[in-house]
Structure 1
């Protein structure tokens, strides 16, 4: 497989050498000097088919140019109160690094409400974190550890996941589509913790739909996952919601060391970086308010199928709960 892989990388590199401006410039922002690793990521996403990978990569570069993704880190979400509202409702942050030097991203899937701003702001925020990860965090980690670090670890907290998540599926499908088409294979492993029954029900039907390489990356851990996660990261890098078992596990938006908060060093550094870049790009005049609109392709293939499956399963779960509640009410009346 390794020989085939190297040959595929070599063939794809030959095709990418023919790419002209402005695609060549934006491709440099994508690979950040880790050319072979970047080509391998896209090849994995297309099962090492060089022709399909070349089309995927060129399409992604065109998307970047058409949507000015190279400039998105110079487009702050203003005013700061709006950005704080986005942070309070789109719970994500960096809690530290794994023992191998991979940044640890934490996601509050269950407690994210996505109800404080338009879809465009949440998509803008997500892409900004992707770009900051790829252009700032990963190159810095690579320099620190003396080797290419091009992927991250994600810990997904399902605390508070409810049927109301149904309203978020469209936005989450948009974000997933953007990642699948333009940031493939950036996650080394997914750890899912604090799992309620509603997630377990969905996971049983979604898991078979995932590609084998994705299934292998996903681990559903018991409880808050602390003991398992301590095998791959130090305690200081654990997300706050993984630090201790029980109801006080730190799932709150405001618990100590909360990496979701705008006051956390990661978000302070990110927001300050974006503000500095905006001054460099537009040194005169106030920063324009308004979201950064990005064209998002319609979800297709497995992504759309998974989204529909989750919706269907949540509907079933909801109907089951309503039937259960009705039976309880009849029992009360009978009594």
Structure 2
């Protein structure tokens, strides 16, 4: 009997896709790299590395964008940049956007998300309403609010007429123009961060919140000690997008004020556009672009290697 069993062919193992994938995983990864990596590297080199290299090269020349740059001036563009009062104003304004985003916009988005994250038809309606400003193109949003702030024909004009006061041209006021821009930025983008928080809150296990209620925790205590610690990863992502977006603010400012009045409402990007492109000073604009790129890269690497690497 044992001899008969020994002569039988070995039993064939049933096919397992996971075992096959594990066996051929190294080869598949290598094949994926060969197929997908070269096109990605080519596109990244053409559209990112080469333009950055050219911008760094042009920043050492006084050049209007025509012909081949020949007037080499070294670091004069950078020296002029850091001594320019409008650049100081643009840097301060960009810092204001970051502070307002972190102190007002993100907490507002979190408060709204905590109130409408549960699934219901009414909450869905509110989510749509609050998310609508983010759907609008930045230029369209800027034009809408420019009409709202207009002292002759807009909402501000109507309010002034109703109250019997002189019309207020807020976008032409050096002291208040950028404050108006900050209001529009908060209105435009808080819905995006709200949706990030809603997605994170919907992933919080209900068992934990119910256990907290059974233990006698109030709503605020549940939010502070249960919900917020569990969505801290979403908050970190939201902060990252908020700061990086503040460094790149452009489309909203141009239709509202164009950086005016008297260059008082520039961000770093509108400053680059105004003093580099529109004035045909491509060398100087390249220097601004290099400084802005370095600021974004330093922030991104620092944030991802410190804050986002922390356990949370």
TM-score normalised by L of structure 2 = 0.22
Structure with greater helix percent: 2
TM-score normalised by L of structure 1 = 0.21
